Amino acid sequence: MIPAAFDYVRASSVDDAIRLLGEHGDDAKLLAGGHSLIPMMKLRLAAPATLIDITGIPQLDAIRVEGNRVTIGALTKHAALAASDALKKSAPALWDAANQLGDPQVRNRGTIGGASAHGDPSADYPAVLLALDATFTLIGKGGERKLPAGEFFRGMFDTALGAGEVLTAISFDAAPKSAYVKYHHPASHYAVVGSAVALTLNDGSIGAARVAITGVGDAAFRAGRVESALAGVRAGDDDAVAAACAGAASGQDARSDTFASGAYRAAMADVFTARAVAQAAGR
Amino acid sequence: MAFTTMVGARIRRREDPRLITGRATYVDDVKQVGTVYAAFVRSPYGHAKLLKVDISAAKAHPAVLAAYTGDDLHHAQGLKTSLPVAHKMADLKTPPHYMLAIDEVRVVGEAVAVVIADTAYAAKDAAELVEVEYEQLPVVVDPLKAMEGPPYVHSSLGTNVAFRMPFAAGDTEAAFAAADEIIKQRIVNQRVAPVSIEPRSMVANWDAGMQQLTLYSSTQIPHLLRTQLAVVLGMSENHIRAIAPEVGGGFGGKLNVYAEEFVISWIATQLERPVKYIETRSESFQAMIHGRDQIDDLEIACKRDGTITGLKLRIVGNLGAYHQLLTPVIPTLTLLMAPGCYRIANIQAEVVGVFTNTMSTDAYRGAGRPEATFFIERAMDLVAQRLGLDPVEVRRKNFIPNTAFPHTTSTGLTYDSGDYETTMDKALNIVDYAGLRKRQAELRKEGRYLGIGLSTYVEVCGMGPSAAMPAAGWDSATIRVEPTGSITVLTGVSPHGQGQETTFAQIVADELGVPIDSINVIHGDTDKVQYGVGTFGSRGTAVGGAALKLAIETIQAKAIKIAAHAWEANPDDVEYRDGKIGVKGDPSRSMTTAEAGFMAFMGDNLPPGLEPGMDATRRFEPPNFVFPFGTHVCVVEVDAQTGQVEFVKYLAVDDCGRLLNPMIVEGQVHGGIAQGLSQAMFEEVVYNDDGQLLTGTLMDYAIPHAEQVPHYDLDHTVTPTTVNPLGIKGIGEAGTIGSTPAVANAVMDALAPFGVVHIDMPLKPEKLWLAMHAKTGNGRAR
Ligand SMILES: Cc1cc2nc3c(=O)[nH]c(=O)nc-3n(C[C@H](O)[C@H](O)[C@H](O)COP(=O)(O)OP(=O)(O)OC[C@H]3O[C@@H](n4cnc5c(N)ncnc54)[C@H](O)[C@@H]3O)c2cc1C
């Protein structure tokens, strides 16, 4: 696997990264953990002229829990999320995802910022970040803007990130009753289907639910119908939960590959969503 | 019997410290001054005319030294450009197979041109500058379609059928006429890829002064490679050196000689520079041989009591676009093993080899035998299911009894030794078969689907008698007792993970009574080692180890003569006892092999007529194959909601005769099961109808991670063989052969309540889920 030639520069701060992006133009790419970008370069599916390494930028790799608000720096590695007790308590769905993502090597290099910016339709975090209704902080030449997850993830390898922008942080309200359940692809170990659920419970009945699914469509999506159907359902009533989760992927043009057809993926979205609901409710 | 301290012991592999501390030398670790790098331009189409191959832009790249097309090689003086295929088949069609395509490409990944540059990066960049114009031609990837007519992979042949081999034994029609039941089933043995961790790797160097070509290649057969280099390049074989340094996995994928090996060797002679080529994983998926890919149509005639009376069989082997070294031979091995460990007197069969626009199939761990074991072991379960019998009882009814060995099968093989029922009963005992069946019945009531699968395999290996092989089947060993008493072993086999540096040292340590650390086992270098055939077909120890045993005997005989002379004793009264030379009945006299070896070196006190020096080269020609066997039991639970399979238990009771090192045997079995199980569950090379390879990376082609395979319980029985002086059978492929049907039978057993008879591999959850939901819609049986 032999990439084409490229230049390599290091950014010392977010401002520096923005400056370098401006300087090197469209042919430049930010480099975080490199675990999506470099495989593509090795296959020569991507051939950026310049890599701007942002891993040296200080203070972008913290997990902060302040009251009910959780903020995660874009350079936080999967392994740090997977090892965080604070995250396990405040947003176990994200902790689940980090623990099931890739393998130890990948988790030790890859970052939540890179995984989000990449927009991979089978990636784990997009479902979780949608279910957590996370806010993305983007900084560019024109300053800072904040976008909700629902606007950030747009399509296959497509996000709202502007050409000269850096994703610096992701934040969300704590969701202690949340879970992410994943159907691992036997080869890639990405999600064939991944369901993220964040619930509130009143006396054993589901109050509000946010449900998001990855792996099935062109991008992760909120399963709005399931969310409304879950309201009021007793969390311990498996049949009622299953009924509410039926058709979780309806309206999606489910993808097929050599492992699983779209129809099967859609059917599994129901099953894994019900499992995620049970797991979240049990927390 | 020699005294034994080493043989039979769990000696740790001497190979491992260097392998696990990064001190091993693989081909890519071979650094030579002035090395240049090759990149191949490969066809993106499954079938196309080459209208133009223009290498001028690539040649103009500043880092490029040279570039060549198929025509360039074809016109190069003395270069015989069609690649070898080893076979003894009368009417085999062998279309030309060029090193670089000429006029036409017939498979995605076929090399069209090669570019040589200062760095691997520049070579790859320049390869992108080669301009190729293709005119796409019709593609055929399905062998059943290809058999019927056009489009033809090789239009000059006017057919895609490379050979048809009919076979008949007994009176099959009569057996079918008298049968109580006839079961028909098509069983597809899907195409898989070897996926050695180290892809094909090679570096060639031409020493113009010495007129010597040296090729380091990640190969299982350095000597056969040297011979083929001589033939194809038209060079003198004694000026060629082939070296297999550390080889990072072969599995049959490197039991071959590849276009790239010839191309870079020839270019090295042209440029007088070392030329290196390490293929990428994507290239490896396209251009290393694939395995299996058979469509087997079975008709089984049986009596109501489960006795199988006849078998009709059509084996269609998808050969791919060209013959590689052993391509056409593989499906014929399937026919040989069709009866498995059962008495089936009446067989009527046809083997058909078919060209398609896919990569060549060839030997992949098991090579033709797994396909046979798969269908015959599935057949046992199909018969049991149809007749409402226990699969154990159907097997028991049909086993060749342990009193019938040696046993000649209807397909003409003579099984050396076996005791199938004892091994099966041992396995059933260990897993508590009756208890498992009870548990299965209970769980079914709860809507949980446990499946219990058996495979009672026998396989043919220790390849093999030369008369039965497409090329030589013997092997060789040299032992040198060095003046200071250390011992050098040169083996003609070429181990690459099988552990013979350890097991061969164990044998020598015991027999010659020397410390194991004083033995050095050398292999894989044609300038160091006498000609040997190589490592494949579970032959390394069964044939190479047997040759070693002969060499030991020659050394012992000479040492006895030297000691007898020194003691003025009659050589007939002198013997090897517990690894030392002594006089029969006189414990006071003893001499070590090292002492005798030193006397042989000094040469001043030898019996008259005896040559000085102590070394011996011997070759072993096996009188027959060996036939290891065993019973594998797999227990799975299938999740009705998803079709996902969970392994509950896996037991293998194998019989490979005498165990030289149980730990190494277990290692071979572990790896073998992982690969066989993986074929049952995960792996499949998929070409679409346009001939595009859809499973060209490890993102799509599933090689299991550790957590995807179960814990293995292992046990064994010991039924020695008389085929070789060590009493051993091969164990390199047994795990792969035995495991695939055990897993498939377990899954099918789990799904039996849904009326499932057979589902083809890989047993992907979606297929199982569909089968469980097709009738009921809810994943509950009934
Ligand atoms: C073997 C393997 C298995 C994997 N398995 C999984 C899996 O199971 N599930 C899963 O979800 N993922 C998986 N991944 C992907 C992994 O999560 C990557 O780490 C992640 O997708 C990319 O993060 P990164 O930090 O490596 O980003 P990089 O590869 O460095 O960058 C990816 C893209 O994001 C851009 N980018 C990076 N950071 C920023 C930023 N802060 N602001 C703006 N743009 C940015 C880059 O320019 C690039 O376009 C796997 C990867 C590998 C190699």
pLDDT at B1: 41
Q: Listing from the earlier edge strand, what are the strands of the sheet with B574-577?
A: B574-577, B580-583, B586-591
Contact B450, B608 (CB under 8 A): no
Nearest alpha-carbon partner for B277 in B263, B289, B288, B256:
B263
Pairwise CA distance, residues B639 & B645, whole Å: 6
B89-98 pLDDT, tens digit each: 989 999 999 9
| Tens digits of residue pLDDT in B47-79 | 999 999 999 999 999 999 999 999 999 988 778
Q: What is the pLDDT of residues A146-204, one digit of tens each?
A: 999 999 999 999 999 999 999 999 999 999 999 999 999 999 999 999 999 999 999 99
Instruction: Give the pLDDT mean for B610-624.
Output: 97
Q: Name the band, by pLDDT with cuts 50, 70 and 90, for residue B774.
A: confident
Tell me the pLDDT tens digit for each residue of B5-29.
899 999 999 999 999 999 999 999 9
Nearest CA-CA distance, residue B295 and chain A, Å: 20
Determine the residue of chain B that is closest to A103 in CA distance: B705
* Cβ contact, residue pair A1, B120, below 8 Å: no
Alpha helices in B192-310 (DSSP H): 222-233, 259-271, 281-287
Per-domain boundaries in chain A: 7-53, 63-173, 178-281
B109-122 pLDDT, tens digit per residue, is 999 999 999 999 99
Tell me the nearest-neighbour CA distance from A190 into chain B, angstroms.
9
Residue B780 — pLDDT band, cuts 50, 70, 90? Answer: confident
Q: Which of A20, A40, A54, A106 to mutate to test the pocket of ligand 1 (most atoms within 8 A of CB)?
A: A106
Kindly indicate whether the domain formed by A178-281 is annotated with CATH number 1.25.40.10. no
Q: Residue B379 class from Cβ within 10 Å (0-12 exposed, 13-18 middle, 19+ buried)? A: buried
- Which CATH number is A7-53 given? 3.30.43.10
Q: Are B220 and B258 in contact (CB under 8 A)?
A: no
CA of A109 to the centre of ligand 1 (A): 9
CA of B256 to the centre of ligand 1 (A): 39
Contact B282 A1 (CB under 8 A): yes
Ligand 1 site-directed mutation target among A118, A137, A145, A165, most atoms within 8 Å of CB: A118
The protein residue with its alpha carbon nearest to ligand 1, atom 14, reads A102
- For domain A63-173, give the fold: 3.30.465
Percent of chain A with pLDDT strictly greater than 90: 99
A116 touches ligand 1 (CB under 6 Å): no
Q: Whose CA is nearest to atom 51 of ligand 1?
A: A35
Residue to substitute from A41, A101, A259, A273, interface B, most B β-carbons within 10 A: A259
| Cβ contact B677:B763 at 8 Å | no
**Cβ–Cβ under 8 Å, residues B702 and B761:** no
- Reported as a pLDDT band with limits 50, 70 and 90, residue B782 is low
For residues A81-110, average pLDDT = 97
Closest to A32 in 3D by CA, of A84, A73, A85: A73
**B566 C-alpha to center of ligand 1: Å?**
76
Tell me, using a 6 A CB cutoff, whether residue A113 lines ligand 1: yes
Pair of tokens at residue B585: 């009945």
Q: Quick check: B689 and A173 in contact, CB under 8 A?
A: no
Q: Are A273 and A227 in contact (CB under 8 A)?
A: no
What is the rounded average pLDDT for all residues in chain A?
A: 97
Tell me what pLDDT residue B81 has. 78
Q: Which residue has the tokens 């980090």?
A: A98
Q: Could you tell me the two tokens for B202?
A: 């090679």
Angle at B543 between CA B85 and CA B532, to 5 degrees: 55
Cβ neighbours of B442 (radius 10 Å): 11
B701 vs A2, A187, A268: nearest CB: A187
- Ligand 1 atom nearest the C-alpha of A77 is 25
What ipTM does the predicted assembly reach?
0.95
Would you call A207 helix, strand, or coil by DSSP? strand
How many CB contacts within 8 angstroms connect chain A with chain B?
A: 56
Residues on chain A touching B698 (C-beta within 8 angstroms): 187-188
Cross-chain Cβ contact B700/A258 below 8 Å? yes
Domains of chain B: 16-22+474-620 (3.30.365.10), 32-137+198-248+254-287 (3.90.1170.50), 366-464+624-773 (3.30.365.10)
Among residues B344, B675, B398, B737, which one has the least CA distance to residue B537?
B737
Q: How confident is the model at residue B600 (pLDDT cuts 50, 70, 90)?
A: very high
Global confidence as pTM: 0.96
A60 lines ligand 1 (CB under 6 A): no
Asked if residue A28 has its Cβ within 6 Å of ligand 1, the reply is: no
Residue-averaged pLDDT of chain B: 96
Q: B628: CA distance to ligand 1 center in Å?
A: 48
Cβ distance A5 to B125 less than 8 Å, yes or no, reads yes
User: Once rounded to an integer, what is the mean pLDDT over residues B308-336?
Assistant: 98
pLDDT > 70 in chain B, percent: 99
The gap from C-alpha B360 to its chain's centroid, in whole angstroms, comes to 15
Q: What percent of chain B has pLDDT over 90?
A: 96
* CA closest to B688 among chain A residues: A258
Residue of the nearest CA to atom 19 in ligand 1? A110
- Which amino acid is it at A178? S
pLDDT band for position B3 (50/70/90)? Answer: low
Residue B456 DSSP SS3: strand
Q: What is the pLDDT at residue B4?
A: 64
- CB atoms A4 and B125 under 8 Å: yes
State the pLDDT confidence band at A1, using cuts at 50, 70 and 90.
confident
Provide the pLDDT for residue B20.
95
The CA-atom distances, in angstroms, between B292 and each of B192, B193, B277, B468, B483 are 6, 9, 27, 21, 50
Rounded to an integer, what distance in angstroms lies between the CA atom of residue B661 and that of residue B9? Answer: 5
Quote the tokens at residue B600. 């042989």
For the Cβ of A114 lying below 6 angstroms from any atom of ligand 1, the answer is yes
| Nearest chain A CA: its distance from B264 CA (Å) | 19
Q: Do A187 and B699 touch (CB under 8 A)?
A: yes
Contact B319, B162 (CB under 8 A): yes
DSSP A132-158: TT-EEEEEETTEEEEEEHHHHEEETTE
CA pair distance B338, A212, nearest whole angstrom: 52
pLDDT reported for residue A105: 95
